Amino acid sequence: MTALKTKVYKVECWNPEPHIIAEAAYAIRSGKLVAFPTETVYGLGANGLDDGAVRKIFAAKGRPGDNPLILHFASPEDVEQVAYVNERAKLLMDSFWPGPLTLVLPAKSVVPNSVTAGLGTVAVRMPSHPVAMALIKAAGVPIAAPSANRSGRPSPTEAASVLADIGDDVDIILDGGATDVGLESTVIDVTGPSVVLLRAGGMPVERLEEVIEEVKLVPDEAKKKRSPGTRYRHYAPLIPLLLWENGVLRHSPFVMGKRVGYIGINEPPFPVEEKILFKTPENYAQGLFLAFRTFEKKGVEVIVAEWPNSKGIGLALRDRLSRAAGEEL
């Protein structure tokens, strides 16, 4: 049940109503929590410079305190307030912002420890969604926002998923419809001599490599130290997920007699009770998390997901699928 205090407002995606944005921005400035759409997934936002407000995010999500948050900005210039911005970071911002790219930079002392998890670095991003942009501008502060799901669950790509997961613990939900990318932003570390991929996401690595030198993919063990978020089982549906790769089911083949829900681009390899087919890898990414939640509601007992190729958004899709399947990457 949703607490009566939670307000859910439908907002015009391309032209959000100013009075709704003003109320949500006031809530942010007052230390409250506002869930809002970005082009990737819905975020659970709070004033990123207010330690007390940020702590409410961790409580609402049930998120471990050692997993740092992304600060969201409405312009690249505003980042200087919280981080030391180097030339390479500037080039990346000029090339890809607003968009699904998060940069990890050395943090300034104004950033609360609850945001950085005491790492000395801060993750920053400028989302392209008009509702997110309007909210950040009106709030006049950087907005700390993880995905608006309960910790460990698939990220929400529509307002109903936010309501289902954390509806009781958020003050306002801005419902701007379904999100475009469907997977979270790409996170890269630009603090060191080489650029390191911490999380594959909505911005393909190939596009980054058009403007900077190679993006290093680090082995998972090292990544776990650098990006605490990758330490936990993530994006997981409540039902087991098996991966279908080139005619072989990875892990257990025991799907006989079970209600199977299939997701992928190609037709399922065997008869299934439920299926959701996507035309392109981009559509697959956009619909993945909602498909998990839909199958849960339909009483599916096993999900079989087609293993995509690693090009473009495929790298992020692979990452989310293997984590959801409980694989160690």
Chain residues in the site for ligand TXA (CB under 6 A)? 38, 40-41, 43, 67-70, 100, 102, 104, 116, 119, 121-123, 125, 127, 145-147, 184-185, 187, 198-199, 226-230
Distance CA 174, CA 36 (A): 5
Binding site partner of 177, from Mg ion, ligand TXA, none, Cβ cut-off 5-8 A by kind: none
Token pair for 246: 């080139």
Judged by beta carbon, residue 43 or residue 261, the one nearer ligand TXA is 43
Q: Which stretch binds Mg ion (CB under 5 A): 20-28, 103-111, 137-145, 146-154?
A: 146-154
Distance CA 53, CA 44 (A): 11
Shortest distance, position 314 Cβ to Mg ion, whole Å: 20
Shortest distance, position 93 Cβ to ligand TXA, whole Å: 15
Strand partners, 105: 122
- The one-letter amino acid code at 153 reads R
Judged by beta carbon, residue 103 or residue 123, the one nearer Mg ion is 123
Count the site residues for Mg ion by CB under 5 A.
1
Distance CA 62, CA 3 (A): 18
Judged by beta carbon, residue 47 or residue 149, the one nearer Mg ion is 149
Judged by beta carbon, residue 6 or residue 147, the one nearer Mg ion is 147
**Considering the rule CB under 5 A, would residue 185 count as an interface residue with Mg ion?**
no
Judged by beta carbon, residue 18 or residue 62, the one nearer Mg ion is 62
Distance CA 201, CA 93 (A): 16
Shortest distance, position 159 Cβ to ligand TXA, whole Å: 13
User: Which single residue brings its beta carbon nearest to ligand TXA?
Assistant: 229
Distance CA 278, CA 275 (A): 10
**Considering the rule CB under 5 A, would residue 147 count as an interface residue with Mg ion?**
yes
Judged by beta carbon, residue 32 or residue 231, the one nearer ligand TXA is 231
Asked whether the beta carbons of 2 and 168 are under 8 A apart, the reply is yes
Shortest distance, position 310 Cβ to Mg ion, whole Å: 22
Judged by beta carbon, residue 226 or residue 275, the one nearer ligand TXA is 226
Binding site partner of 223, from ligand TXA, Mg ion, none, Cβ cut-off 5-8 A by kind: none
User: Which single residue brings its beta carbon nearest to Mg ion?
Assistant: 147
Shortest distance, position 68 Cβ to ligand TXA, whole Å: 3
Shortest distance, position 231 Cβ to ligand TXA, whole Å: 8
**Considering the rule CB under 5 A, would residue 157 count as an interface residue with Mg ion?**
no
Residues that bind Mg ion (CB under 5 A): 147
